[in-house]
Amino acid sequence: MRGERELNRASWRRVVRLIGLVIIVVIAAMLIPAASAPRTSEHYVALGDSRAAGPSTLRFLNDSCGRTAASYPRLISEWLQPEFFLFAACSGAKVENIIDTPQETRSGGGRPLQIDSVTSETTLITISIGGNDVRWYDIARRCFTREEGDDRECRNDPETRLAAMESLRPLRPRLDRLLGELRARAPQALIFLASHGGTVGDGGCWPEVPASDEDAAFIAQYQDDMNDIIRAAARYAGVNYVDLAAHSVGHDACQPRHRKWYEGNVTTSTSLSMHPNNNGNAAFAEIFKEEIKKEFRRRVR
């Protein structure tokens, strides 16, 4: 009988230990959210061109739109962990490719309209657009020299100044239409429209920005004029303007590799020339995140 009672006590102790273990596991599971569960209920859609796509010279990282894991929308999504994320941005896109004209890509054929990713359930939209609409690089390269130390004096060329002014003229009505369409499709969404600029600072450098200091300042002013239009369109539509250019001062393509957020005409990284590099993409994500957090705080008041 004693042996039987001791055996029963041992069995009971094992059962108690097992129950305790199960309770601990259950509590741990409740405290630690599942990796696949979203941290937020946001429905996030990223629209735009290559500044959003984050293209790389490493082809195996690219799709037909040049979207990469280093792009700021991907980094925002990793931070936000939304319930739904659709990365619709595509390198080379113009406003028309978001709203009414399917974009033709070199390797992937026609792309669907980016705006088709936006629905009434969309709660967050980020956009980088406009550089291809105004063909800003075509204006900039009018100032580039073939030899170090030369000065094209594009700033004093009437044709270049007229071309710069004319390139900006259609941007505002295009942005007004885009933002109006987005408002109609996603009336509850927080919309964040990014500035352009930052690639060229107030001076040139060979060979990254092969222009005289005076011509580089002309290019920088041209991009400032572009951002004035983007900012005004954002204000008119009641969306959030994200001033990436202002934060980019001191991080242009002429800065040392560890400090610059952009590649120049000659790239020193795996990012494409005249595009943000991974430092820039990471910085952009942080800037967007701060703006998003501000709006989230306002929304819950």
- The predicted model scores a pTM of 0.85
* Strands annotated E in the chain: 43-48, 84-87, 103-105, 109-111, 124-128, 190-194, 240-242
> What residue spans define the domains of the chain?
1-32, 39-299
What's at 20, amino acid-wise?
G
Catalytic residues: 50, 275
Q: What digits encode the pLDDT tens for the residues 115-173?
A: 999 999 999 999 999 999 999 999 999 999 999 999 999 999 999 999 999 999 999 99
Range from 89-93, 102-106, 144-148 carrying the lowest mean pLDDT: 102-106
| Mean pLDDT (whole number) for 90-114 | 89
Q: Which residues contact 212 (CB under 8 A, 6 or more apart)?
A: 143, 145, 150, 151, 152, 153, 204
- How many Å apart are CA 179 and CA 162, to the nearest integer? 28
Both tokens assigned to 59: 């082809």
In this predicted structure, the answer to whether residue 185 has a pLDDT above a threshold of 90 is yes
> According to the model, what pLDDT value does residue 279 have?
97
Instruction: Kindly list the distances between the CA atom of residue 100 and the CA atoms of 111, 169, 262, in Å, as whole numbers in the listed order.
Output: 11, 20, 30
Phi-psi region for residue 231, left (φ > 0), alpha (ψ -120 to 50) or beta? alpha
Burial of 221 (0-12, 13-18, 19+ CB in 10 A): middle
In angstroms, rounded to a whole number, what is the distance separating the alpha carbons of residues 136 and 232? Answer: 19
Domain 39-299 class in CATH: alpha beta
What integer best gives the mean pLDDT of the chain? 88
